[in-house]
Amino acid sequence: MTAILEVSGLVAGYGAAPVLHGLDFAVPQGGVATILGANGAGKTTTLRAVSGLIRPAGEIRFAGERIDRLSTEDIARRGIAHVPDGRGTFVHLSVEENLRLGAYTRRDPAGVARDFERVFALFPVLQERRRQQAGTLSGGEQQMLAISRALMLRPRLLLMDEPSFGLAPLIVREIFRIMRAINAEEGVAILLVEQNAGLALELASQAYLLETGRVVVAGSADALGADDAVRRSYLGY
Amino acid sequence: MEAFLHQVLSGLATGGIYAIVALALVMIYQATHLVNFAQGEMAMFSTYLAWTMIDAGLPYWGAFAGTVALSFALGIAIERIVIRPVGNAPVLAVVIVFIGLLVILNSVAGWIYTYTIKSFPSPFPGGSVLGGYLSRHELGVMGVTLGVLLLLFLFFRFTPLGLAMRAAAQNPVSSRLVGIRVGWMLALGWGLAAAIGAVAGMMVAPIVFLDPNMMAGILLYGFAGALLGGIDNPAGAVAGGLAVGVLENLSGAYLVGTELKLTVALVLIVGVLVVRPSGLFGRVLVNRV
Ligand SMILES: Nc1ncnc2c1ncn2[C@@H]1O[C@H](COP(=O)(O)OP(=O)(O)OP(=O)(O)O)[C@@H](O)[C@H]1O
Ligand SMILES: [Mg+2]
List pLDDT tens digits, range B223-277: 989 988 888 888 888 999 999 899 888 887 777 766 677 777 677 677 877 877 7
Tens digit of each residue's pLDDT (9 = 90 or more) over B65-124: 999 999 999 999 999 999 888 878 888 888 899 999 999 999 999 999 988 899 999 888
Its pTM stands at 0.89
Which ranges of chain A have pLDDT less than 70?
1, 235-237
What b/e readout covers A214-237, taking b as 16+ CB neighbours within 10 angstroms?
A: ebeebeebeebbebeebeeebeee
pLDDT above 90 for B3: no
Q: Where are the domains of chain A?
A: 1-79+157-237, 89-154
Looking at CA atoms only, how far is residue B208 from chain A in angstroms? 39
pLDDT above 90 for B24: yes
Which residue's CA is the nearest one to ligand 1's atom 2? Answer: A14
Which domains, ranges and CATH numbers included, belong to chain B? 2-121+131-275 (1.10.3470)
User: Which among A39, A43, A45 is the best mutation to test ligand 1's pocket, defined by most ligand atoms within 8 Å of the CB?
Assistant: A45
CATH tag, A1-79+157-237: 3.40.50.300
Residues 12-31 of A with CB under 8 A from B: none
Helix (H, G, I), strand (E, B) or coil at A89: coil
Position B286 confidence tier, pLDDT thresholds 50, 70, 90: very low
A139 and B287 within 8 Å at the Cβ level: the answer is no
pLDDT above 60 for B143: yes
Contacts of A91 in chain B (CB under 8 A): 170-171, 286-288
A93 lies within 8 A of chain B by CB: yes
C-alpha closest to that of B205 among B124, B112, B98? B124
DSSP string, B150-181: HHHHHHHHHSHHHHHHHHHHH-HHHHHHTT--
A91 and B175 within 8 Å at the Cβ level: the answer is no
Looking at CA atoms only, how far is residue B175 from chain A in angstroms? 8
A41 lines ligand 1 (CB under 6 A): yes
Position B285 confidence tier, pLDDT thresholds 50, 70, 90: very low
Strands A80-83 and A157-161: parallel
Contacts of B289 in chain A (CB under 8 A): 86, 139
State which residue of chain A sits closest to B167, comparing Cα positions.
A90
Q: Compute φ and ψ for A34, nearest 5 degrees.
A: -130, 145
A107 lies within 8 A of chain B by CB: no
A171 C-alpha vs ligand 1 centroid, how far in Å? 26
Position B287 confidence tier, pLDDT thresholds 50, 70, 90: very low
Site from A97, A104, A115, A151 to mutate, B interface, most B CB atoms within 10 angstroms: A104
Rounded to the nearest 10 degrees, how much is the dihedral formed by the CA atoms of B24, B27, B28, B31? 180
B179 and A97 within 8 Å at the Cβ level: the answer is no
Helices B182-208, B136-158: inter-axial angle, 10-degree rounding: 170
